[in-house]
Structure 1
Amino acid sequence: MQYTEAIDYLYSRLPVFHRIGPKALKLGLRNTLLLCEGLGNPQQRFTSIHVGGTNGKGSTSHMLASIYQSAGYRVGLYTSPHLKSFTERIRLNGQPIPEEEVVRFVREQQALIESVEPSFFEVTVAMAFDFFARQAVDVAIIEVGLGGRLDSTNVITPVASVITNIGYDHTDILGDTLPLIAAEKAGIIKPGVPVIIGESHPETKEVFTSVAATLQAPITFADQQYQLQSLGLVNGLRQLQVTGGDMAGQLIQLDLLGNYQLKNLPAVLATVRQLQTLFPVTWAEQEEGLAAVTAQTGLKGRFQTLRLQPKVIADTAHNKPGLEALFETVQSISYKTLRIILGLVADKDRSQVLSILPSTAVYYFCQAQTPRSLPAHLLQEEAVSLGLAGYAFTDVNSALAAALEQADQDDLLLITGSNYTIAELINL
């Protein structure tokens, strides 16, 4: 079996969320537990940190991985979805899982897969856990896929549970109020295991404190422990100062440039502090890890600069709170004309997303080559009805090419709206 055959098998045999959306979900832990049992329960053979939340869980996972790599630990990292290659989902010290390991897993576990009939995501989780166990990682950072309580990753018992924030996303699955969504995310809290909440919110704080109290899980609200102030960009790195907590006055250089990372960082700092006894990390190692997240872990699509004149930035923000945070950063940049290359999926509440987009921008509507993607001409029609003028293109690269042709050197081109849109950029 070749790598292409193994990947074709996974995509053709199993329901895939990023292709068909919620219909691919098999909510609950039964299938994952059956897969893990067939593999000898690998999830019990490595130490893990579980990271959930509405937005920022990918960036938070990568920052934690980079810090622990800088401290010399052998670090596994599981995230989803991937942008370019399936192997990006499973990393060891920043390096994607070798293709031959994917082939080996599929070949050896094909009978198990077909007996369980899992989803694509359930198989990738089991593959990651098997790989991390066999590679004897010191710690694995495991990002939740969707929700928490019923997410396939929730078969682990981590040494810390991290919940970045709560916002409106996947409301058809998780609930249509913040407390309901928080309750689903709180499902990753385990008895006696410390939980770190990145952003406290009056509508969700009681949910977390109640669940933590019931499970006797020590709880930390990171934004009450650490505050950060941006000092601007120096040599391509965002300069930050810790203004609260036991590290007040410390300076941080971060290679992730979006202002929204200021909301993710307190949870990162609080998690590292919480686990100091188990995984000691010096301040110098934290500094080193945060200054080199993209280089050490391969993170892409988080306010990533693709070109300077005109400036082209790609960001995977895809829901209302994520896009609001993105445009806060955009407002801190000077430019002549804002040109937005936008692609959205069809199975989300687009009215909320479109309502926050700036009417002064020029739009280039596009679609990803996946059945979940909203056709560009329909997106254009919906946007025009809300006063957002622009052009329609069949793919993101054509849209970007048109925007570049029309742009002045001082314009800002922003590509956003969907992981799948960003993934199809040729020069990502």
Structure 2
Amino acid sequence: MSRQSAPVPRLPEDSLAYALLTSARLIADVTAGKTLTEALAILWKSRPDTPAGTRGAILDLTYGCLRDYGRQDFILAKLLQKPLPEPLQSLLRVALHRLGVRADTAHTVVDQAVEAAATVLAGKFKGVVNGVLRNALRQSADLERAADADMVAEFRHPPWWIRRLRSQYPESWRSILAAGNTHPPMALRLNRRRTGLRATLEAFAAADLPVRELANGALLLERPVPVTRIPGFAEGLLSVQDAGAQHAARLLDLADGQRVLDACAAPGGKAAHILERADVSLLALDSDPQRAARVTDNLTRLGLEAEVRTADCRDSGRWWDGRPFDRILADVPCSASGVVRRNPDIKWLRRSDDIARFAAQQAEILEALWQVLAPGGRMLYATCSVFAEENQEQIAGFAGRHADCRQLPIGGQPDCQYLPCAEHDGFFYALLEKAA
């Protein structure tokens, strides 16, 4: 008679062990090349009934561990002769991250990580996981000191990223990197067609949600909360949008009656802001049908109307009717280096040569959109990047190729580079005017 293997133990969904292992599987997916968005979509589709509290625990562990790029791997290299098979290697990453932020629960973290390891590969690495984590605790002071002396482990970004920022921002590169490792702020945008500031502040006070208005009119929450707790969100009175992103509609210098193009519109935050500020005829494009559908959904929630089409803005022959636009928002695809704390998988997935690839795509978009801009019209070039190749150098190259292009100052400067900080993410803006 053949011998049956022992059944794999099931982890309770409300246990830390379950959250640790699920997070580890997500991180293993990212290290294998999958975006976190893709990995999460697959996870939630396969586990649609996951309780909200469990989802929150998984997301907190996953995002936190991914923000810690390089630090856990540095420590594990000191404690392991060779990496463990996935998802056990990532289980150790997640457990070390948890020990770093919740040292007071060390015993529970180790116990639950071992419980999780018992369900993987017949539990053959259960003892290894236990030993590594206990050694990490015993040697924590020495390991942390060594990690702080290593460039990647200290700054938690890939080496090419650190070197690029150090070269381009000799005075502020450390603060940019530090901001990229933090929890992002949560800012809101008023739909001023439906509500006003005073009523909004009163509603937030009644809901015990501390909030303050920033200089550009954005509302910054003292702490992030689920959108279900935001008074008026479901009714379309407010939207979640980073304060830095809320500069775009203002910089476009909108006026009623203009014909406006949002060339890379998804998920629709800037398109909605444009429509909230002025009565314009707006065409919103996105090359991805699912993302274009998100634009429509967002506009519908806010009670706004625009023409939304699925198209690559570079292929104007397929979508342009020949009538030029007075204003164009070119919020182009980029490295997203200015919003890395919101998308920490970027640090694991981006490569140095990706920046040149993005820059080439951006140049193609600029060339195509310039052809559909009316004489005397303005185009706002925007990225959520902090890398010069995608920003200042891109605009300098474009202006040098087009004699009919005049770069308009922003706040007394040739352009505007917002660096990530406690109030907003990193964004770049340049305003270009076409000669009449």
More helix, by proportion: 2
Q: Could you state the TM-score of these two structures normalised by the residue count of structure 2?
A: 0.30
Q: Could you state the TM-score of these two structures normalised by the residue count of structure 1?
A: 0.31
- If you compute each CA radius of gyration, which structure gives the higher value, 1 or 2? 2
